């Protein structure tokens, strides 16, 4: 029998990657292409959807030729993508109507502020599981309707299609204007603020509220099921999975059991906890989201806590303060001292995210004395990531009946042993790193392979997961409590720094 | 005592000159700035270029400081950066070989383990990053010794410790073993540190080919070695591929 492979596409914020995986979940080839970031105004972030599609068309064949694999040996294609990034395009020509608005773009902030006041968070939480935030797609669609002449009417007339990145790419891969599939999956749809989190269908009330016409929306499908065959690039190859990148990472980490959680440590960090088929509504500032939906099985939900500034604090330390030359050197500098010397950094650069959700917070460094060296600051930088993880885990433990027993980690910062040990210390649970670092791509491959019958069941995938490293908690409980108390007091000092612009 | 060597003084002046400005300098500018004849300046620049202290831009012919010089003061690569750059390759090596992987750099006459990937069988294993291994009895250490990244001087005064009956403790034997390492490009340690255990290691080269560390895999002797007691060729191939891949990454980025 010919060896077959699963192709995974990770359409990320900075680049698009195409990876082939073999039966053991091992990486066979990787091709990557970056795309341009457009910053037309402060707070605006845009991508050119055509550039991304062009990149994908290049890298898919390259991934095959690098490994000497023919299109016929690809069992299935799965896609993971940057979530919430919004593309509108012309149904007949396939041309995007302007650039894609990226998830980091904050142009909808005033609109979001209004929504939080009226009708208020509860209205949205009840229906889509999300409080209004600049992250999500629906406020962006509204913004476009309010700022692009005639767009609203064209959408009502059925001339305009909406999609997040997976929708855009699948539509193009399956024929584009010539009958391309206009679909999304439940995980991506759960980040639009338009999907009913229980029914997994577009919510009439939310559509009406945002004024989004039904014909522009893709069909919501499972995360893993046969969508259709590609008609361009690799004609005839089945496309069988799509997931938002963080959900893909949860899947790639094989967190299939309620209570299992992963944290991806990158520029920001995303902690997702599998809560099973129970929809858990957070009382502690977490988001309720769809983790995955396999075929016609019931959906599996997750609680998500996102931390805005983790790796980017290290980058700031490197690029803005110039105290280190490369990000990994933060560990070297931090190890020049025994502890933080009483210094704490709360990196609320653009407010605090989960579980505080305080946009009026700004960063603070507290506990400065003449004793503090750059080594102490380096410690405080790393510890900030640890404590922010702890706050999210505390919220998860408060919201969900199964307390966290172990945290699976991935992302660039997992190379930092001091940080990983600190995370284990402050969470008081083991922290484990898997052997395949590319968990996002692996998750999309797993979902695709599962739907295509390449892998029989979740158990087989679980057996592919191997521990590459493990950090065990080793901190005196009294010290942990004392330090956590100090961190919390530091957080209090970051709150309320930004005054409201207008008197109420 | 002899007086200062004029050509070295001039070479130093040229290096200071190149280091002083933000831009590359042409031969004429160098010669004029230092009051040297063009031929003299050219001879010195060519020699400095030969030892990688100076680089010449291919299109303009102008000179700048060389990468080797930039790395001279900080010839050690930050160990955390080395780990960060190696992590994907080390993972892949462990996944393919089925054995535990370690990276080592020299530290005070021993090998410091700077990265450790578990054997992918999910048995209970403990991260031993930060632990120290003997240079003469570990494959990682032998690589560091063979390529001059570490030396035995301080340790050998007290005599080398024999951990097992296979440990090399006689200087002549070690010298011969290290020559062998340089010849084949990898080192083995077969029951030399502990009975029943074996390991192989290969050099990691940084910018300019300088060996900055070693990567190796280890396990029970019957898994690492074939029936003749020699390291399995397929493991050596995997190891050397990984070492080359890491080296490529380190060399490509300055």
| ipTM (interface pTM) | 0.80
Using CB atoms, pick whichever of A331, A468, A471 lies closest to residue B91: A468
- pLDDT at A471 > cutoff 50: yes
**Residues within 8 A of A (CB atoms), B 46-105 only:** 78-81, 83-85, 87-88, 91-92, 94-96
Helices (H), B164-232: 171-184, 221-224
Instruction: Average the pLDDT over A178-189 and give the result.
Output: 96
Torsion, Cα A102 A103 A106 A111, to 10 degrees, reads: 110
Alpha carbon of A475 to those of A340, A469, A479, B244: distances in Å? 14, 19, 7, 39
- pLDDT at B58 > cutoff 70: yes
Instruction: Average the pLDDT over B43-50 and give the result.
Output: 91
Highest mean predicted confidence (pLDDT) among B15-24, B65-74, B160-169:
B160-169
Q: Which helix (H) or strand (E) holds A295?
A: none
Looking at residue A457, its pLDDT comes to 92
Interchain proximity B118–A412, CB inside 8 Å: no
Interchain proximity A435–B117, CB inside 8 Å: yes
Contacts of B92 in chain A (CB under 8 A): 26-27
Interchain proximity A468–B117, CB inside 8 Å: yes
Write down the pTM of the prediction: 0.83
Q: Output b/e per residue, B5-43; b: 16+ Cβ within 10 A.
A: eeeeebbebbbeebeeeeebbebebbbeeeebeeeebee
Domain boundaries along the sequence of chain B? 6-70, 79-252
| Backbone φ, ψ for residue B64 (5° rounding) | -145, 170
Interchain proximity B84–A415, CB inside 8 Å: yes
Interchain proximity A470–B125, CB inside 8 Å: yes
The DSSP secondary-structure symbol of A208 reads H
Looking at residue B157, its pLDDT comes to 56
Interchain proximity B120–A26, CB inside 8 Å: no
Interchain proximity A469–B92, CB inside 8 Å: no
Q: Could you tell me the two tokens for B84?
A: 């960060």
Checking DSSP bridges between strand A431-434 and strand A407-410, what pairing results, if any? Answer: parallel
| Backbone φ, ψ for residue B112 (5° rounding) | -95, 125
Interchain proximity A27–B92, CB inside 8 Å: yes
Looking at residue B211, its pLDDT comes to 87
- pLDDT at B252 > cutoff 50: no
What value, to the nearest 5°, has the Cα angle with vertex A347 and ends A344 and A352? 120
Confidence of residue B71 (pLDDT cuts 50, 70, 90): low
Contacts of A406 in chain B (CB under 8 A): none
- CA A397 to chain B, closest CA, distance in angstroms equals 27
Using CB atoms, pick whichever of A331, A414, A469 lies closest to residue B116: A469
Q: Is A407 left (phi over 0), alpha (psi -120 to 50) or beta?
A: beta
Instruction: Average the pLDDT over A36-64 and give the result.
Output: 92
- pLDDT at B253 > cutoff 50: no
Instruction: Average the pLDDT over A257-280 and give the result.
Output: 93
CB of A460 within 8 Å of a chain B CB? The answer is: no
Interchain proximity A466–B78, CB inside 8 Å: no
Instruction: Average the pLDDT over A155-167 and give the result.
Output: 95
- Closest chain A residue to B128, measured at CA: A469
Nearest to A11 by CA among A173, A211, A186, A200: A173
A307-407+476-494: CATH number:
3.30.420.40
CB of A226 within 8 Å of a chain B CB? The answer is: no
For B166-180, the pLDDT digits (tens) are 999 988 899 999 999
Alpha carbon of A39 to those of A36, A42, A48, A135, A165: distances in Å? 10, 7, 12, 16, 19
- pLDDT at A57 > cutoff 90: yes
Contacts of B130 in chain A (CB under 8 A): 417
Looking at residue B150, its pLDDT comes to 81
**Domain B6-70 is of which CATH architecture?**
Orthogonal Bundle (1.10)
- pLDDT at A12 > cutoff 80: yes
Looking at residue B22, its pLDDT comes to 66
For A66-122, the pLDDT digits (tens) are 888 999 999 999 999 999 999 999 999 999 999 999 998 888 988 988 998 889 889
- CA B227 to chain A, closest CA, distance in angstroms equals 28
Binding site membership of A for ATP: which residues?
13, 15, 267, 311, 315, 412
Q: Could you tell me the two tokens for A489?
A: 């007091």
Binding site membership of A: which residues?
13, 15, 17, 83-84, 135, 245-246, 267, 311, 315, 412
Looking at residue A118, its pLDDT comes to 87
Share of chain A above pLDDT 90, in %: 77
| Backbone φ, ψ for residue A102 (5° rounding) | -80, 150
Instruction: Average the pLDDT over B156-161 and give the result.
Output: 72
**Domain B79-252 is of which CATH architecture?**
2-Layer Sandwich (3.30)
């Amino acid at each position: 029998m010919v060896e077959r492979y699963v192709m995974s596409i990770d359409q990320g914020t900075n680049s698009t990657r195409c990876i082939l995986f073999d039966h053991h979940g091992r990486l066979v080839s990787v091709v990557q292409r970056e795309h341009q970031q457009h910053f037309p105004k402060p707070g605006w972030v845009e991508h050119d959807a055509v550039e991304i599609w062009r990149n994908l068309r290049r890298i898919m064949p390259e991934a095959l030729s690098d490994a000497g694999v023919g299109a016929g040996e690809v069992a299935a294609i799965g896609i993971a993508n940057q979530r919430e990034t919004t593309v509108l395009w012309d149904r007949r020509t396939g041309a995007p109507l302007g650039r894609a608005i990226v998830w980091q773009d904050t142009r909808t902030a005033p609109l979001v502020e209004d929504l939080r006041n009226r009708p208020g968070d509860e209205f949205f939480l009840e229906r889509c599981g999300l409080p209004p935030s600049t992250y999500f797609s629906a406020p962006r669609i509204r913004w476009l309707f309010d700022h692009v002449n005639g767009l609203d009417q064209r959408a009502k007339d059925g001339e305009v299609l909406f999609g997040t990145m997976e929708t855009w790419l699948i539509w193009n891969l399956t024929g584009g204007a010539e009958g391309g599939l206009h679909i999304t999956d439940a995980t991506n749809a759960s980040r639009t603020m338009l999907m009913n989190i229980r029914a997994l269908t577009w919510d009439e009330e939310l559509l009406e509220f945002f004024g989004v016409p039904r014909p522009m929306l893709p069909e919501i499908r499972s995360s893993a099921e046969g969508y259709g065959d590609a008609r361009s690039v690799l004609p005839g190859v089945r496309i069988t999975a799509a997931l938002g990148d963080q959900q893909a990472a949860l899947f790639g980490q094989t967190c299939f059991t309620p209570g299992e959680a992963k944290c991806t440590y990158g520029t920001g960090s995303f902690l997702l906890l599998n809560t099973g088929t129970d929809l858990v509504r957070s009382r502690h500032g977490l988001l309720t989201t769809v983790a995955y939906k396999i075929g016609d099985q019931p959906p599996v939900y997750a609680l998500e806590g996102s931390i805005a500034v983790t790796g980017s604090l290290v980058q700031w330390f490197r690029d803005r303060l110039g105290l280190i030359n490369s990000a990994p050197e933060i560990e070297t500098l931090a190890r020049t001292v025994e502890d933080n010397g009483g210094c704490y950094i709360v990196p609320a650069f653009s407010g605090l995210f989960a579980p505080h959700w305080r946009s009026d917070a700004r960063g603070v460094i507290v506990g400065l004395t003449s004793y503090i060296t750059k080594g102490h600051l380096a410690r405080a930088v790393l510890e900030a990531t640890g404590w922010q993880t702890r706050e999210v885990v505390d919220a998860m433990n408060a919201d969900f009946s199964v307390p966290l027993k172990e945290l699976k980690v991935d992302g660039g910062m997992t190379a930092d042993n001091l940080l990983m040990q600190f995370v284990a210390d402050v969470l008081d649970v083991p922290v484990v790193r898997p052997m395949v670092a590319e968990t996002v791509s692996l998750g999309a491959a797993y979902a695709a392979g599962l739907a295509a019958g390449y892998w029989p069941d979740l158990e087989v995938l679980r057996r592919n997961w191997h521990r590459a490293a493990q950090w065990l908690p080793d901190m005196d409980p009294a010290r942990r409590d004392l330090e956590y108390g100090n961190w919390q007091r530091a957080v209090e000092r970051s709150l309320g720094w930004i005054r409201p612009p207008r008197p109420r | 005592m002899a007086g200062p060597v004029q050509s070295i003084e001039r070479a130093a002046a040229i290096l200071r000159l190149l280091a002083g400005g933000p831009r590359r300098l042409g031969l004429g500018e160098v010669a004029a700035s230092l009051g040297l004849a063009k031929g003299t300046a050219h001879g010195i620049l060519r020699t400095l270029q030969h030892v990688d202290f100076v680089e010449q831009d291919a299109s303009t012919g102008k000179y700048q400081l060389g990468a080797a010089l930039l790395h001279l003061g900080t010839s050690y690569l930050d160990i955390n950066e080395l780990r960060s750059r190696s992590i994907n390759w080390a993972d892949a090596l462990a996944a393919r070989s089925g054995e535990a992987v370690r990276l080592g750099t020299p530290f005070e006459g021993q090998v410091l383990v700077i990265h450790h990937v578990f054997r992918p069988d999910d048995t209970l294993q403990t991260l031993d990053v930060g632990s120290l291994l003997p240079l003469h009895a570990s494959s990682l250490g032998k690589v560091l010794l063979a390529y001059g990244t570490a030396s035995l001087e301080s340790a050998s005064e007290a005599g080398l410790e024999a951990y097992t009956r296979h440990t090399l403790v006689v200087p002549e034997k070690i010298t011969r073993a290290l020559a062998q390492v340089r010849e084949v490009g990898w080192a083995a340690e077969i029951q030399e540190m502990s009975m029943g255990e074996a390991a192989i290691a290969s050099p990691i080269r940084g910018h300019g080919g300088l060996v900055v560390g070693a990567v190796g895999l280890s396990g029970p002797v019957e898994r690492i070695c074939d029936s003749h007691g020699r390291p399995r060729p397929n493991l050596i191939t995997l190891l050397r591929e990984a070492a080359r891949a890491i080296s490529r990454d380190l060399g490509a980025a300055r």
